[in-house]
Amino acid sequence: MSAPDLHATVAVYRVKSDAASIEARAQGIAIEQSIEMPLEAVRDETVRRDIVARVGAIRDLGEGRFEVEIGLSHLTFSNDAGQLLNMLYGNSSLQDDVELLDFRLDPELLGGYPGRGQGIAGLRARAGAFNRALACVAIKPQGLPPAGLAKLVEAFALGGVDYIKDDHGIADGSFNERVSACAQAALRAADRTGRLTHYVPNLSGSFPVMRDQIARLRDAGLRAAMVAPVIAGLSNAQALAQENPDLAFFAHPTMGGAARIAPPALMKLFRLVGADAAIFPHFGGRFGYSLETCRAIAEALRGPWPHNFSDAIPTPAGGMTPARVQEMLDFYGRDTMLLVGGVLLRAPPERLTAEAAAFVRAVAEYGAAQ
Amino acid sequence: MSAPDLHATVAVYRVKSDAASIEARAQGIAIEQSIEMPLEAVRDETVRRDIVARVGAIRDLGEGRFEVEIGLSHLTFSNDAGQLLNMLYGNSSLQDDVELLDFRLDPELLGGYPGRGQGIAGLRARAGAFNRALACVAIKPQGLPPAGLAKLVEAFALGGVDYIKDDHGIADGSFNERVSACAQAALRAADRTGRLTHYVPNLSGSFPVMRDQIARLRDAGLRAAMVAPVIAGLSNAQALAQENPDLAFFAHPTMGGAARIAPPALMKLFRLVGADAAIFPHFGGRFGYSLETCRAIAEALRGPWPHNFSDAIPTPAGGMTPARVQEMLDFYGRDTMLLVGGVLLRAPPERLTAEAAAFVRAVAEYGAAQ
């Protein structure tokens, strides 16, 4: 009767409930995340069969928490990542007893997402770095004029880092000036080092503004950009990646609200919309992620997906220091991009290049020693 | 020395902390939500003075919670709502000890937002309903073909409701057919009743897709649309409102994650990006909002803002019934749009118009009795 593959996408929730109520609560979530009306009021047999979400496994986690799996019909979200998020967690995000723990997208749907992008191999090829982890730094603070940011780019590029990203707060009106100045600074450094460091500007604003920013960064010869998918809207991050298959996209987790959406699930969404590098806070920095969470994030970003769907390089950050390179690479392995930010900037200006070079050397030597 | 008005925008957080640590924690949030690097590493005096966020009042709420006010420099977000949200709560949303309770935007910045839209007066004028609350219903379920949804529109329009909105989950590929069929159904009903009910289609997908949907709904003679600002991205909701000052926008709260962003603060953001009607779950329905929260939401949407900034009509929903009209209007007063959804659809098809008419009558008679 029913077409079982319609509901092959599964949302996994953690729900506060008592044992007597959990089945009804799970059914309530299934309704909320699909038809959002009383089931008995649905007269259309096709809707009942093909649209209404279905309660799957329920597992008692103890202490009044249950893990609940709900099968979502792909007819309700199709190939749009924003609508996927809407169906995974939209209304339920307003209820304080439900967290989105994970989701498993029907592999057959992957073809509709921008999964033929750069991935880890593309980031490596662009950087010419194949046998070691990648090294990334951030330029900041916001408010520094383009010339000041460009100076940082030049100093760090002379130190040999692979990628230099904007701070995610940098979003003022000087995009064109900044991108032009920073791209030229990277080229000046490349003239001396013989190797190009890639500057990754932060996109911000509405979609039309971001589209224009991409045109400008292309004009400046750049081939990578950072986007915050939660703020841009997942559908828009997806559309940008689909329109620009030759660009590498870094995803920033800002507004990820990790306390309600499990971080690895968020990272899967970022990968789904075409991120090639996904930034997240590593254990022991300014954010509270556990090592277990970090391991799950790395798996979400790098684990094999069907149809050769692109991977994304785990990019741990959030208060990291060059002193932690060894420990972090022990943990993540080589298919990782280490991102250090503010700590490098503690050094006096004349030491920036040497500090960056020491960071790059630590990353490279770890690779050589394996 | 400093320009005090640069930091006139204030974010208000609730922070878990002990008394000994709260000042340092507040300073940490101020850094996280602005320059995101060690303060001592900032060498540029202008950045220190004009960019770094400033800790303001700290109030002990008891039980290890503090209310913390942080002044944000408007140079860090300017007139872009997405960037405003990034600076209000972006990285801090990843830390589980911080909730965004409220924000107060520098009134001087309001001019950059789409605040000259329809507002409550515009929604009333369009509906020709001036001395009573407005009545809105939702059509659902998702998955019903356009002809089925159009039948519901016709039945409800014959019952005399003011606005008929799509369920926020309706986002399939049949936008053009649906909008055309539902607009025609509303016109057929208007031929019989002499009064037009406004159909409000749900927009979904990337910004370019939404732009195209707006062109199509205009073609069909419609002048209102619903958008989910958190999923579309606040900057994009803002851009749509700015591009279409003659359309009325309904904001849906899906993905609002109310447990971490206080619902009234979210509603202020929706008003800021040009919502004319803002939907939220009322007390006693499927969601856990208290009456106090609902009162604060109504104030956030209708309270006076400087520069005649448009208001937005509170649109309580989330499992409401016609039986609650009296109680809800006692609570919200006339400048309210009541939205009932699934419960109307429990009625057999031949009763839909009568049920809708009873709902409208209850709303109208309450108005007349005041």
pLDDT of A96 higher than 70: yes
What Å distances lie between residue B133 and A335, A338, B186, B332, B360, CA to CA?
59, 57, 21, 9, 9
pLDDT reported for residue A7 = 95
Chain B residue closest to A29 (CA)? B286
Q: Which residue has the higher pLDDT, B221 or B265?
A: B221
When computed from its CA atoms, the radius of gyration of chain A, rounded to whole angstroms, is 22
State the pLDDT confidence band at A284, using cuts at 50, 70 and 90. Answer: confident
> What would the DSSP string read from start to end of A135-179?
EEEEE--TT--HHHHHHHHHHHHHTT-SEEEE-TT--STTHHHHH
Structure tokens at A177: 């000036």
Q: Does A174 touch chain B (CB under 8 A)?
A: no
Residue B370: Cβ-neighbour burial (10 angstroms; 0-12, 13-18, 19+): exposed
CA A275/CA A277 separation, integer angstroms: 6
Q: Does B95 touch chain A (CB under 8 A)?
A: yes
Q: Which residue has the higher pLDDT, B287 or B140?
A: B140
pLDDT reported for residue A64 = 96
Lowest mean pLDDT across A21-30, B201-210, B285-294:
B285-294
Please name which of B322, B366, B370, B364 lies closest in space to residue B343, comparing C-alpha atoms: B322
Residue A334: Cβ-neighbour burial (10 angstroms; 0-12, 13-18, 19+): middle
When computed from its CA atoms, the radius of gyration of chain B, rounded to whole angstroms, is 22
CA B205/CA A305 separation, integer angstroms: 24
pLDDT reported for residue B345 = 86
pLDDT of A258 higher than 60: no
Q: Which residues pair with B100 in a beta bridge?
A: B13, B261
CA B148/CA B55 separation, integer angstroms: 55
Q: Average pLDDT in the B265-276 region?
A: 88
In Å, how far is B80's CA from the nearest CA of chain A?
6
Q: Which of residues 265-284 of B touch A (CB under 8 A)?
A: 281
Q: Which of residues 335-354 of A touch B (CB under 8 A)?
A: 341-343, 345-346, 349
pLDDT reported for residue B259 = 57
Please name which of B18, B13, B160, B163 lies closest in space to residue B99, comparing C-alpha atoms: B13
CA B38/CA A141 separation, integer angstroms: 10
| Spans of all domains in chain A | 4-112, 119-369
A204·B233 Cβ contact <8 A = no
CA B160/CA B322 separation, integer angstroms: 14
Q: Which residues pair with B59 in a beta bridge?
A: B67
In Å, how far is A245's CA from the nearest CA of chain B?
17
CA A113/CA A274 separation, integer angstroms: 7
B169·A231 Cβ contact <8 A = no
Percent residues over pLDDT 90 in chain B? 66
- A151-184 pLDDT, tens digit per residue, is 999 999 999 999 999 999 999 878 999 999 999 9
Q: Which residue has the higher pLDDT, A30 or A254?
A: A30
For residue B90, what is the DSSP state?
T
In Å, how far is B351's CA from the nearest CA of chain A?
13
pLDDT reported for residue B172 = 80
State the pLDDT confidence band at B23, using cuts at 50, 70 and 90. Answer: very high
Residues on chain A touching B44 (C-beta within 8 angstroms): 141, 143-144, 148
- A215-244 pLDDT, tens digit per residue, is 999 999 999 999 999 999 999 999 999 999
- B105-138 pLDDT, tens digit per residue, is 898 888 888 876 678 899 999 999 998 889 999 9
Q: Which of residues 110-139 of B touch A (CB under 8 A)?
A: none
In Å, how far is B322's CA from the nearest CA of chain A?
15
pTM of the model: 0.90
State the pLDDT confidence band at A369, using cuts at 50, 70 and 90. Answer: low
CATH architecture designation of domain A119-369: Alpha-Beta Barrel (3.20)
* A342 vs B36, B206, B209: nearest CB: B36
- B207-248 pLDDT, tens digit per residue, is 999 999 999 999 999 999 999 999 999 999 999 999 999 999
- A121-149 pLDDT, tens digit per residue, is 899 999 999 988 899 999 999 999 999 99
Question: Half-sphere exposure (CA, 13 Å, Cβ side) for B28?
Answer: 17
Average pLDDT, chain A: 90
For residue A261, what is the DSSP state?
B
pLDDT reported for residue A356 = 92
Q: Does A355 touch chain B (CB under 8 A)?
A: no
A341·B167 Cβ contact <8 A = no
CA A260/CA B94 separation, integer angstroms: 10
pLDDT reported for residue B4 = 54
Phi, psi (5° rounding) for residue A315? Answer: -125, 80
ipTM of this predicted structure: 0.88
Q: Which residue has the higher pLDDT, A81 or A285?
A: A81
Q: Which residue has the higher pLDDT, A329 or B262?
A: A329
B142·A35 Cβ contact <8 A = yes
Average pLDDT, chain B: 90
Q: Does A253 touch chain B (CB under 8 A)?
A: yes
pLDDT of A287 higher than 80: no
State the pLDDT confidence band at A259, using cuts at 50, 70 and 90. Answer: low
Percent residues over pLDDT 70 in chain B? 96
> What would the DSSP string read from start to end of A171-236?
-STTHHHHHHHHHHHHHHHHHHHSSPPEEEPBP-SSHHHHHHHHHHHHHTT--EEEE-HHHH-HHH
How many other CB atoms are there within 10 angstroms of residue A103's CB atom? Answer: 24
pLDDT reported for residue B1 = 41
Q: Average pLDDT in the B279-307 region?
A: 89
CATH class of the domain whose range is B4-112: alpha beta
Q: Does B319 touch chain A (CB under 8 A)?
A: no
Q: Average pLDDT in the A274-300 region?
A: 89
- A35-59 pLDDT, tens digit per residue, is 988 898 898 999 999 999 999 999 9
* A256 vs B44, B94, B236: nearest CB: B94
In Å, how far is B63's CA from the nearest CA of chain A?
20
Best probe of the A interface among B2, B78, B255, by most A CBs < 10 A, is B255
Q: Average pLDDT in the B43-50 region?
A: 93
CA B137/CA B343 separation, integer angstroms: 10
Structure tokens at A329: 């690479």
Q: Average pLDDT in the A251-260 region?
A: 77
Chain B residue closest to A262 (CA)? B94
What Å distances lie between residue B198 and A131, B119, B161, B167, B225, CA to CA?
62, 15, 9, 15, 10
CA A34/CA A15 separation, integer angstroms: 18
* A341 vs B28, B37, B259: nearest CB: B37
Q: Which of residues 16-75 of B touch A (CB under 8 A)?
A: 28, 32, 34-38, 40-44, 46-47, 50-52, 73, 75
Best probe of the B interface among A231, A289, A350, by most B CBs < 10 A, is A231
B198-200 vs B163-166, strand pairing mode: parallel
Q: Please, are residues B201 and B166 in contact by the beta-carbon 8 Å criterion?
A: yes
